[in-house]
Amino acid sequence: MADISNNKLNDISYKHMPVSVFDVAKMGKKGIRGKRNWSTKNKKSIPSSRSTYSPFPPDVAEWCAQYFLRDKQNIFDPFAGWGERHRAIKDASKNYIGYDISEKAIANAKEKFGVDNILANSMTAEIPEHDGLLTCPPYWNLEKYESKEGLDRIKEWKKFLVDYETLWKRVSEKALSGARYCIMVGDWRKKNIFYDLGYQTEKVMEKCGFKPFDKVILSHKKISPIKLMLPQAKRFGYTPKVHQYLYIYEKC
């Protein structure tokens, strides 16, 4: 069973993890994928797949490939997504193996970036040996993909955390000594309940035998801290909604 307590004060990795800040470049209203082909006024017309979610910031992917993973060669991604991370790793002349349960995501990665991800479920498929990892796990109760076998289909938060830990244990078993992981996650609030996926990830990685190397706060908009305190901050979109932290770990 996953430990879902929130006692951060007693968690050594949490207290001693260094913190950095990265200013994420704006990707535009249309993101990296181009024009949407559905009406946002009709919510029922929006497809239940990754096509409705923001892309992985390309500059963050490039930074990870060139800096945190610069000495690594075989990079695994258990949630390959739309292809932004694959392209960054490929451009850095490294080997990338990405699994995804979404046929649409795999087709998009091929069309937009010319990369071939693998249709596979990281919960059941054989995990390749790797010395690096770059990924962004799904956020429970916020994302819905077309496959019915993903973590997004789990109904309860506690059950999600149990399977989330199981997945990382499977993946980390194939990590070579000294492997470095770059994991982008975020916390969120829904219906007045706070979900701390970032902290849960910290605890899981410690159980998997990884030590913290860095924790990066992602700043999505270069604005004055004063503006963030204004009542209209949320209305104007000053606060980041997803992809808030980049955790860097090394296998002991």
Structure tokens at 93: 């002349």
209: alpha, beta or left, given left = phi > 0 and alpha = psi -120 to 50?
A: left
Segment 206-225, tens digit of pLDDT: 999 999 999 998 876 655 55
Segment 122-161, tens digit of pLDDT: 999 999 999 999 999 987 776 666 666 677 667 889 999 9
Which stretch of 4-8, 136-140, 194-198 has the lowest confidence by average pLDDT? 4-8
Give the residue from 188, 250, 240 showing the smallest Cα distance to 218.
240
Segment 155-168, tens digit of pLDDT: 889 999 999 999 99
Cα separation, 51 vs 34, in Å, equals 11
Segment 42-101, tens digit of pLDDT: 444 333 444 444 678 899 999 999 999 999 999 999 999 999 999 999 999 999 999 999
Cα separation, 23 vs 246, in Å, equals 12
Give the residue from 53, 27, 51 showing the smallest Cα distance to 242.
53
Confidence of residue 29 (pLDDT cuts 50, 70, 90): very low
Please give the distance of CA 233 from its chain centroid, rounded to a whole number: 25
pTM of the model as a whole: 0.77
Helices of type H across 28-152: 58-63, 84-91, 103-113
User: Domain 8-27+47-251 belongs to what topology?
Assistant: Rossmann fold (3.40.50)
The domain segmentation of the chain, as residue ranges, is 8-27+47-251
Q: What are the backbone dihedrals phi and psi of residue 87, each rounded to the nearest 5 degrees, phi first?
A: -60, -45
